[in-house]
Structures are given as C-alpha cells and as structure tokens.
Structure 1
C-alpha cells in the first residue's frame, strides 16, 4: 500500500512559508523552511521530503509539529547549544574541581572514564557523560594505555631501586679472581604455542581486520640470554621448563665461551637452579632478581618483539613455529646493537662494566 503525501493542514501559511524560504540566509533556517514548503504543497511523502532536506523522516515530523504548534516563528526557534563534549565550561567557577582532576590523574585515582563520572557526581554533584569525562582526562594530559601486570607479592618500588643500586656489590660478592674473563647475562624463558596470539594489525582506515585463529594447546619453550656488555645473544628451544632443562641450557650457554665465567641475572623461579647448586656448570654463577619483578629483566622486551613476528598466524606444528621464529632470533644473533638497545639501562651496564672491566 502506497504511503500518502504529507498534508500540512495550515493552508494560510503556504504563501508566507514560500516567501520566508526565498529570503532566508541561514542554512539551518532554510532547511526547515524547505521542509515546511514541501509539506504545504501536499505532493510529497515524508521520506521524499527527508531526502530533499538531507535529514531523517523523524526530523521532518518534529519540524512539522513545531510549525503546527507555534507557526513559522515556532519552527525557527532553536535552543542555544549546550557545552560540547569535553568543554570545561561545566567547571566554570570551580577551579578546585579542575585541580583535583589533575591531582587524581597523577595519583591514578581513576582507571576508566566511568569511574571519573561517578566521582564527579558523588563528590561534586556534576552529571558528566562518559565521553565528556574521557575528553577531560585527555585535556589534562592523560593517555589511555594498557597497564603492565604486577604480582601482588612484588616488592615496593623502593626495593626495586635498592636492587639497581646494589647490583655492583652483588657482582663483586661473587669474588671472582682478578683477571677472570666474565660475561654478564640476563636470562629468561618464554612459552610459544600453536594457540594463535592476536595482536594489533595495520589495516586501511575504516576496515575491520579479520585474522584466522586456531585453538590448539601445544607448547614450546624458548630459553634466551642477552649479554649486557658485548651484545651477544643465546637461545635454545626446549620442550618444557624444569631443573633438568635449566641445567642443560646453562651448560650450552657455558659452552658458548668455555674460557669465561658466565654470570646470569634472572628470577628465582622454582625451575631455576640456585647459585652454588651442584648441578650448575662449573663456570656459571647466578645473581637473582627481586621476586616478581619482570620489569628489571630486559629479556621481557625481547619476547615482546619476537612474539610480534609470529602473532596473528596459524602454525600447523611446533617445527613450523620454530621456523617462523628463526628470523627474529637471527636479528639478535647478528646485530649486537639490537641487543644493546634492549639491555641499555645505565644501572645494569654501568655496574656490570665497573665490576668486571675489560
């Protein structure tokens, strides 16, 4: 059944509407008057009028209701626009609130914009939408970042700084004979598997990326060490993590330079041998990191770089996965500067060089 044309029902206004439309200069007024003019002709459906006015049909009915109730002046009446999303006019005369916003951001008081909206309502009686709160956070210098996870049992920041400051003393406490060739490594392990790891990808603006993903619980472990002063890298694939695999890996690391003593800085995981353990290779010494402090180990950054290379892809076997990892590992084997950029932390390099010069 065909829709009938709209009938304005105010024939006395038709001539005046046409005249006001001809003289109108403001764009929004001209659009509303065009809508009224087309409706007064009684020849167009609401969808046709909406298409000619560049609006939706519901807006056409809203404008005609304004015309019927208030005449042409009612049609051309428009409320003053309120503050735009993120406009600080809501805080006009409230400098204390703005200062508290800046202090709260520095203290990490809000993790999300809805939390800020609730705080503004509870503490200051301000009704602020989430998108406005988000814009305010940006305007006072906030950025949205994915946080690094932290274990509840991790030590305080003070303890982390104390470890950095005392690393040189810990290295000297190993009491290696003067003139001994020493290599200082940071070491860690990472798990890689056939379960597809999804990460951000580059796509044209407006496109929705789609990545093939498989759910397959088969894993491989990559042991790795980065040398702090010379930029060497050493990696090995092993099927699991345990004390036997740890001893095997350290034996291979020691064999990479049989004349050197290899000082390995790493965490105290349960599958790691401790310094002085009989199963340690003869020329390997261990310096433990503070508990639950991966941010002190540059190997964590290496794993992130390597995982970027193999993410968003499906591998049919562990051998295929190892082949895909090889180009990333070669980058560290062949480019000492790539390693030194990762381990280039003054507290680490300076104290290693000072403890074992040359």
Structure 2
C-alpha cells in the first residue's frame, strides 16, 4: 500500500471546521470535516468513515486540498459537450433569423427549424437536428412568438417619428393651458362585439380537439373605450354604431372622468368620426391624432384583446340586450382593477 500523503501545514483542524461552518456546499463541508479529523490526529480510516467513502477517495481529497486549498474540495462543473456552432456561426444564424426568409429564394414566408437546419448545412456543412437547433436558438434568446399585426401600407418612419416628437406635442398643448394645470394622458378606441363571436385558445388534453359554441347571427354593439394608464382609470359607453354623435357622447363621458382642474390629452386614431367638424370637444380635452395605420401605438387595442380573451369570447349572445349586458360587465370588471389598466396601458415612450 502506498504511503499516506501528508496534509499541507498552513491549515489546522479549527480552521477546517470554521470553513465547514461557513460553507453552503454540502460536499465541501463533508470533505472539510473529514480532513479536520486527520488534522486532529485521527487515522485515514476514521476520516473515510466520517466522510462515508473509501480510503482512496480520502487520498484524492487530500491531493485536491493540497493543490487547491478549500476550493479544491468543491466539485467542478463538468465542461459539457463541444457546441456545434461557434460564436461567429451563431452571429450569422441570428442575422439570417432577424432578416427573415426571402420567399422566392427560400420557398417559405417564415423560418421553420427544418429550414434553419438546412441553412446551417448549406452554409457551414454542419448537420444539426431540429431538437439541437431549438436548444441553440433558445440559448441565444430566441422564442417562437406571435407576430404583432402591422398595416401593410404603414410608413416605416411613422411610429419612431411620432414617439420622438411626442414630448414636443405635449409641451405645445401644455403651453396653451394655465400654468400648473395637471395633464392626463388618455387613449381612446372602439371595439365591435357581436353574435359572430371569437373563439380563443383553452387548456385541453394533448391529442384532443376542444370545441366552443359559434353563433352565425349578426347583432352587434360597439364599446367606446378610453383609459388613463397613469391613473388606472377608464371611461366607456356601449352604443349601437360608430358615428360623430356617439363620439360626442363618449367625449362627454371622458370629460367627466378627468380630475377636476386637470386637462386630458386624448390620443386616438384618425377615424372619420374622430375628426369631424361637427364633433363637440369638451374644454378639458385636447385631441391628439395618432399616425394613420399605426394601431400598435394605442394600448386600448391590447385592452380589447384582454377583454375578449377573458370575458367576451366563447359566448353565445341571445340578443342585442344580452350583448350590452356582457359588454358593460366586461368593462366594469376592467375598471374595478386599476392596476390592470396600468399594466396593460403604460408606455415608456409616453410616460417616461
């Protein structure tokens, strides 16, 4: 049998036990206590019994401790396998994902894993499975997400230009008001709710096909909705159609919800009834039109989606009156949760 390896002399049993008390690594604690027994004059067999291992393992601990000190008794993280793609190849893959496929060249309008795996083979001669490529993409921060709808004729510069100029627009409106007037930012939109209702996703067992009722009748109503995310409040009316008269009624409703002495800047799209010359705008409201074909700038669009997903979809409405009742119920559920309006409606570009 080989001779026992001596422990390094710059540690003592008391120091080893103190290190064990301060360590949160259970394996390191066990090894420190076993070696502390040796420092106290115990045999290697006693140390092995204390550590629950064999003599050869104790010898390995001694060698690791002598070479690396207490840190040498911490299990190293396994290096794992060599990645298929290096950093340069990952950057190239990210670039092709961001630019998207060319339908005439790649034959698809969106990248699938099998398409990207083929691109990796064509470009780098590296064969990679869909599962491995999926792990690589997730490690790079990519997820398969639903695309946000965008109008096909939208000006690419409209949204960034509006956001850039928004503080100046607010300042110009503020300059027309008495000094010290509080400003409330409101957003407004309309949503149609009818018997031709939507069907949303639902939890179901894999392999099954859940069903939901679907009506073919056409009675409908419109929710005129507006929110002030900073204050967590909203104002709405449910009316039979969208027109100037309905918009005037809604503006009066918003005006009543604005805090006394405050002034509301109401951001809204450029629908005809929003900018009609016959529209009466209350004195405590200034209309600020959003760029055309840019619904992404209006958080009320997200409010409609939330209300449909949680309260209005997957239903059969018996009549127009039933539609009114459910629309009022859904809106009241929303305004009863001001934190929900804040969460959905706050925009950093508008609220800083």
* TM-score above 0.5, yes or no: yes
Q: Could you tell me which residue of structure 1 aligns to residue 288 of structure 2?
A: 287
Distance 2:94 2:182 in 1: 52
Distance 1:99 1:170 in 2: 40
Give the superposition deviation at 1:305. Answer: 1.0
Quick check: 1:343 aligned with 2:309? no
Distance 1:228 1:176 in 2: 22
Distance 1:272 1:324 in 2: 26
Higher alpha-carbon deviation: 236-245 or 303-312:
236-245
Distance 2:180 2:257 in 1: 19
Q: Could you tell me which residue of structure 1 aligns to residue 35 of structure 2?
A: none
Asked whether the equivalents of residues 268 and 289 of structure 2 are also in contact (C-alpha less than 8 Å), the reply is yes
Structure 1 gaps of 5+ residues are 1-87, 351-358
Q: Could you tell me which residue of structure 2 aligns to residue 251 of structure 1?
A: 252
Asked whether the equivalents of residues 247 and 279 of structure 2 are also in contact (C-alpha less than 8 Å), the reply is no
Distance 2:111 2:129 in 1: 16
1:339/1:92 Cα in 2 relative to 1: closer, same or farther (>3 Å)? closer
Give the superposition deviation at 1:295. Answer: 1.9
Q: Could you tell me which residue of structure 1 aligns to residue 151 of structure 2?
A: 151
Q: Could you tell me which residue of structure 2 aligns to residue 311 of structure 1?
A: 313
Q: Could you tell me which residue of structure 2 aligns to residue 142 of structure 1?
A: 142
User: Which SS does the other structure have where 1:176 is aligned?
Assistant: coil
Q: Could you tell me which residue of structure 1 aligns to residue 225 of structure 2?
A: 224
Q: Could you tell me which residue of structure 1 aligns to residue 168 of structure 2?
A: 169
Give the superposition deviation at 1:199. Answer: 0.9
Q: Could you tell me which residue of structure 2 aligns to residue 108 of structure 1?
A: 100
Distance 2:204 2:282 in 1: 52
Distance 1:290 1:179 in 2: 29
Give the superposition deviation at 1:231. Answer: 1.8
Distance 1:95 1:349 in 2: 38
Give the superposition deviation at 1:105. Answer: 2.1
Asked whether the equivalents of residues 251 and 282 of structure 2 are also in contact (C-alpha less than 8 Å), the reply is no
Distance 2:85 2:118 in 1: 21
User: Which SS does the other structure have where 1:173 is aligned?
Assistant: helix
Q: Could you tell me which residue of structure 2 aligns to residue 80 of structure 1?
A: none
Q: Give the 5 Å matches for 1:258-269.
A: 260-269=262-271
Distance 1:332 1:251 in 2: 20
Q: Could you tell me which residue of structure 1 aligns to residue 333 of structure 2?
A: 331
Higher alpha-carbon deviation: 123-132 or 239-248:
123-132
Distance 1:93 1:120 in 2: 9
Q: Could you tell me which residue of structure 1 aligns to residue 237 of structure 2?
A: 236
What's the Cα RMSD here?
3.3
Asked whether the equivalents of residues 246 and 273 of structure 1 are also in contact (C-alpha less than 8 Å), the reply is no
Distance 1:145 1:136 in 2: 16
Q: Could you tell me which residue of structure 2 aligns to residue 298 of structure 1?
A: 299
Asked whether the equivalents of residues 117 and 128 of structure 2 are also in contact (C-alpha less than 8 Å), the reply is yes
1:254/1:96 Cα in 2 relative to 1: closer, same or farther (>3 Å)? closer
The superposition leaves residues 203-237 of structure 1 with CA deviations (integer Å, 9 ceiling, x where unpaired) of: 24554312122222332111111114322110111
User: Which SS does the other structure have where 2:279 is aligned?
Assistant: coil
User: Which SS does the other structure have where 1:319 is aligned?
Assistant: helix
Q: Could you tell me which residue of structure 2 aligns to residue 43 of structure 1?
A: none
Structure 2 gaps of 5+ residues are 1-80, 102-109
User: Which SS does the other structure have where 2:170 is aligned?
Assistant: helix
Q: Could you tell me which residue of structure 2 aligns to residue 213 of structure 1?
A: 214
1:312/1:278 Cα in 2 relative to 1: closer, same or farther (>3 Å)? closer
